């Protein structure tokens, strides 16, 4: 079945490609551009099964001079990025009245209609929507390959695509857009793709702030306007003025788990930079409002504040503008001088909201609601959503660091070694110290550097405003004492207010015991007294999948959530689940809307906290209209999952999942942990070693020296994605599904897929990753890079991939993967034409690089890194 890509999208891709070709020709000449075109045509013909095309592709690439490797890699990398831009713009482009509304734009209307049809009262639906608590946590996990400089140019290219998307442009206007596009593409081409140095944590935080400044700052008020209109039309109810159904938090500058570059000083600086950025953004808004609100008539309440003045709104707004200026300037100085005077700064969000609300209510009271509901309403909604602190900063640290600090402290105090105590001994000590009014440590205590850093981070928390901070997340949490340990360290450092201390359960074993840990915690009366709010628990997707494979991990995550929901309900404690999802299926990724609707019943009860990571932040939130669409998906899914949760799985389904998970775990670990050649094969067949040279993020690729277990989940998945084997996302599924089908469980699995959103979503995500996988590409990596004695393992893994594909096709009753998503198949097919040359180039570059030995700054090494970036761009969700 041949599916045509929408003609307008095809025209945009063609136009951008033509302009890129002109740019390349201008630098290297027509002969070089013709060589690029021969490579592209050869790849296209080879994909169609032509041996002649395959030969043409191979011969052209083999004949490249070493000086041509980098520009060829750059050409295909740039084209894939331009294709992404065109595809993203196509999602939000202007549509005529007779065109269907995109799903992302109509989803909330449809959910509200379903909820009403199911008998939910208008007032209840409106109240639940207004009180939704969705927090999207932006993280700096290193899979964003593109430089910020290029991202800005990509955003401008999108703007020009929108500018030309009008039938009534004059020839001069159309030429102007064309010229601007040509310049932007030339600027991008002549800009280095790869950073020369790794970004610092502060650089990462600034990148996150830029996403807010350039996109979310505009997307949030647009979204809330649309939600208000949709809600009014469906229920007759309005969205409350200061409703904040979606907010944002960040790990950028707060995630110190395995990242020695994130220190207490860095976290303090990032908190201040966020205050600076927030004050500057609001100052710009208020400056515009002061220019616009020149009206004289005002309410008595506003006149009492403004005094006898002919332009009372301007009086109120200019005062606020001055306080914002003072706050901004203070934050800039405080980064370098912690003792700078804070006189006159805005300290809490009400001080920002009150004057804006006063102006808004006055305008409505005086019959000027049409003015109030313009930019002033947008500013109010920004103030409610982002507050004075822009994003709440989470702090994350490994449980072992807290235990080591307490071990040092107990040894110093002469009361034993905390590291050697069992859980009851630890809990006894921690509870006593948390209840004690005396300090634990003398003022002259001199900790080691590691313990001093842990305590310094706690002091930064103590000194920061409450509203500027999110949660304290404990990686590799495994016991109730892990949570109390953090609470004690915070208390000792001067924290006298409740702060959410959140255990992160990340391995299969930890997920299986998550319920027991939380139950033992909630049964401590002293802990319940300190809780003063919901119990937040973070579910780790990345490391659990790396530990057990995606099937066993997904079922463990589901069961852990079920246990946590039941325990918290029994204990009378509100539960907030925090989902640590990544961009890929192997890290819990996939379409967020479907993932939310597939969570266990009761686990999405008006609350949903989730990470958005790496390059997915740009893809989902980098453009205002795309950000608005994605936030709309979150809103609709969380509302529906709250009021219309999915069914409780039937007993037979649970038994089937237990068997599938057991078979999958055995198969996955049999390869990844037990096969004696696996680690060697992984490091030879993939660019895992070379990825360590790519200056992606501030965090090291490894937690420590060692094998697969020491490797972080991101480079583990990133490396397999580059070769298109995609192993972490499917390994284990093939064995589990084949055994189930051989047992005759096929009809029941089909029933599960039809009626159980959890199982359907897992199969859909598996099918998506299998559609992007390519065993033939992986074979080419093996033939060039893997020693003869390891190639049998590669052949075995590719055979398992084929088995996974056949099992999914049997289960879904299709002849080819994703036949029910023909547009997606078409997009993958088009991208493959540009990805194939990059894979072949990367294979050759890896071989030459390894032969040369140490990494250098040579064109060859640069070309290798560009190939990595290009493949990541072509496959999009890479890490």
Tell how far CA 773 is from the center of its chain: 22
Max Cα distance, the chain (Å): 89
Tokens of 251: 């790990």
610 backbone dihedrals φ, ψ, rounded to 5°: -150, 145
Tell me how far apart the alpha carbons of residues 425 and 662 are, in angstroms, rounded to a whole number.
35
Other C-beta atoms within 10 Å of 242: how many?
15
Alpha carbons 628 and 620: distance in angstroms, whole number: 9
Angle at 575 between CA 569 and CA 579, to 5 degrees: 135
How many residues are listed for the chain in this entry?
Answer: 879
Q: Are 843 and 780 in contact (CB under 8 A)?
A: yes
User: Please, what is the angle between helix 733-742 and helix 746-755, to 10°?
Assistant: 120
Which of 645, 572, 646 has the alpha carbon at shortest distance from 606? 645
Query: Residue 393: which H helix or E strand, with range?
Result: strand 392-398
State residue 46 phi and psi, 5-degree precision: -65, -40
Specify the DSSP element, H or E, that contains 560: helix 550-571
How far apart CA 429 and CA 431 sit, in angstroms, is 6
Catalytic annotation, pick one of 44, 128, 141, 402: 141
Query: CA dihedral in degrees (605, 609, 613, 616; nearest 10)?
Result: 40
Distances (CA, A) of 191 to 74, 153, 188, 427: 11, 10, 5, 57
> In whole angstroms, what is the distance from residue 256 CA to residue 623 CA?
29
Residue 431 CB neighbours (<10 A): 18
Distance CA 604, CA 562 (A): 11
Question: Smallest Cα–Cα separation from 833: which of 83, 192, 6?
Answer: 83
Neighbours of 505 (CB within 10 A): 30
Give me the catalytic one of 35, 153, 546, 839: 546
Cα torsion 762, 763, 765, 769: sign: positive
Nearest residue to 131 (alpha-carbon basis) of 646, 641, 635, 644: 635
> Is 546 a residue of the active site?
yes
Q: Which of 761, 763, 754 is nearest to 736 (CA)?
A: 763
Per DSSP, the three-state class of 604 is coil
* Cα–Cα distance list, 220 to 138, 140, 275, 305, 780 (Å): 15, 21, 19, 30, 46
* 3-class state of residue 145 by DSSP: coil
Residue partners of 46: CB distance under 8 A and separation at least 6: 53, 54, 56, 57, 836
838 burial level (CB within 10 Å; 0-12, 13-18, 19+): buried
Strands 133-139 and 246-250: parallel
Query: Catalytic amino acids?
Result: 141, 546
């Amino acid at each position: 079945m041949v599916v045509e890509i929408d003609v307008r999208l095809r025209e945009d891709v063609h136009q951008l490609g033509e302009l890129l070709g002109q740019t390349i020709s201008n630098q290297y000449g027509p002969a070089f551009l013709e060589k690029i075109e021969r490579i592209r045509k050869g790849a296209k013909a080879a994909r169609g099964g032509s041996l002649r095309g395959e030969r043409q592709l191979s011969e052209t690439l083999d004949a490249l001079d070493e000086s041509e490797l980098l520009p060829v890699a750059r050409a295909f990398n740039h084209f894939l990025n331009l294709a992404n831009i065109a595809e993203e713009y196509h999602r939000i482009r202007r549509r005529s009245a007779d065109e269907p509304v995109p799903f992302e734009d109509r989803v909330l209307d449809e959910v509200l209609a379903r909820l009403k049809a199911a008998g939910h009262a208008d007032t209840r639906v409106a109240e639940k929507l207004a009180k939704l608590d969705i927090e999207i946590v932006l993280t700096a996990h290193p899979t964003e390959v593109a430089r910020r400089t290029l991202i800005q140019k990509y955003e401008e290219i999108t703007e020009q695509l929108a500018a030309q998307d009008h039938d009534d442009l004059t020839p001069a206007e159309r030429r102007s857009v064309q010229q601007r596009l040509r310049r932007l593409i030339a600027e991008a081409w002549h800009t280095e793709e790869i950073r020369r140095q790794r970004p610092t944590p502060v650089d990462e935080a600034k990148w996150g702030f830029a996403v807010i400044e350039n996109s979310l700052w505009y997307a949030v008020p647009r979204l809330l306007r649309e939600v208000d209109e949709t809600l009014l039309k469906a229920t007759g109810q309005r969205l409350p003025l200061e409703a904040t159904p979606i907010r944002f938090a960040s790990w950028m500058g707060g995630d110190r788990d395995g990242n020695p570059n994130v220190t207490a000083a860095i976290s303090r600086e990032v908190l201040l930079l966020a205050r600076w950025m927030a004050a500057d953004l609001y100052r710009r808004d208020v400056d515009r409002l002061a220019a616009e609100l020149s009206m004289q008539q005002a309410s008595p309440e506003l006149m009492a504040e403004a005094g006898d003045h002919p332009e009372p709104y301007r009086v109120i707004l200019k005062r606020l503008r001055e306080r914002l200026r003072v706050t901004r300037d203070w934050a800039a100085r405080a980064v370098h001088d912690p003792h700078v005077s804070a006189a006159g700064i805005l300290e809490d969000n009400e001080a920002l909201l009150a004057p804006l609300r006063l102006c808004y209510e006055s305008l409505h009271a005086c019959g000027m609601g049409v003015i109030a509901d313009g930019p002033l309403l947008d500013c109010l909604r920004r103030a409610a959503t982002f507050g004075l602190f822009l994003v709440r900063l989470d702090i994350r640290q490994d449980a072992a660091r807290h235990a080591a600090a307490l071990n040092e402290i107990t040894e110093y105090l002469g009361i034993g070694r905390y590291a050697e105590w069992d859980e009851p001994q630890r809990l006894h000590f921690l509870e006593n110290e948390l209840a004690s009014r005396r300090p634990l440590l003398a003022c002259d205590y001199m900790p080691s550097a590691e313990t001093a850093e842990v305590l310094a981070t706690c002091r930064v928390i103590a000194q920061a405003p409450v509203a500027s901070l999110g949660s304290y997340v404990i990686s590799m949490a495994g016991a109730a004492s892990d949570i109390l340990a953090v609470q004690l360290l915070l208390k000792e450092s001067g924290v006298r207010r409740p702060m959410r201390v959140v255990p992160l359960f990340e391995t299969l074993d930890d997920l299986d015991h998550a319920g027991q840990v939380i139950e033992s915690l909630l049964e401590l009366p002293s802990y319940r007294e300190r809780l003063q709010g919901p119990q937040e628990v973070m579910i780790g997707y990345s490391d659990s999948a790396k530990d057990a494979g995606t099937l066993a991990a997904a079922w463990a995550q589901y069961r852990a959530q079920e246990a946590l929901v039941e325990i918290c309900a029994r204990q009378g404690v509100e539960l907030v689940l925090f989902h640590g999802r990544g961009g890929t299926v192997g890290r819990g990724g996939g379409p967020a809307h479907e993932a939310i609707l597939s969570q266990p019943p009761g686990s999405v009860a008006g609350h949903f906290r989730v990470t958005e990571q790496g390059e997915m932040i740009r893809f989902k939130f980098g453009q205002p209209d795309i950000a608005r669409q994605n936030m709309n998906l979150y809103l609709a899914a969380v509302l529906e999952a709250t009021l219309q949760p999915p069914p409780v799985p039937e007993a037979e389904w649970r038994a089937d999942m237990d068997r599938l998970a057991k078979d999958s775990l055995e198969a996955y670990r049999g390869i990844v942990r037990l096969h004696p050649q696996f680690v060697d094969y992984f490091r030879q067949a993939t660019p895992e070693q070379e990825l360590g040279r790519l200056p992606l993020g501030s965090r090291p690729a490894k937690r420590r020296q060692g094998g697969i277990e020491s490797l972080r989940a991101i480079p583990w998945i990133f490396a397999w994605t580059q070769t298109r084997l995609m192993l972490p996302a499917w390994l284990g599924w093939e064995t589990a599904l084949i055994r189930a089908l051989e047992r005759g469980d096929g009809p029941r699995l089909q029933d599960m897929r039809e009626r159980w959103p959890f199982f359907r979503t897992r199969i859909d995500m598996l099918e998506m990753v299998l559609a992007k996988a390519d065993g033939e590409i992986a074979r080419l990596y093996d033939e060039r890079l893997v020693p003869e004695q390891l190639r049998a393992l590669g052949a075995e893994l590719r055979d398992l991939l084929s088995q996974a594909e056949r099992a999914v096709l049997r289960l879904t009753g299709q002849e080819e993967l994703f036949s029910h998503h023909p547009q997606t198949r078409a997009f993958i097919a088009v991208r493959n034409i540009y990805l194939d040359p990059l894979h072949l180039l990367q294979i050759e570059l890896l071989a030459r690089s390894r032969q040369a030995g140490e990494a250098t700054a040579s064109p060859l090494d640069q070309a290798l890194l560009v190939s990595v970036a290009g493949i990541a761009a072509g496959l999009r969700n890479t890490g």
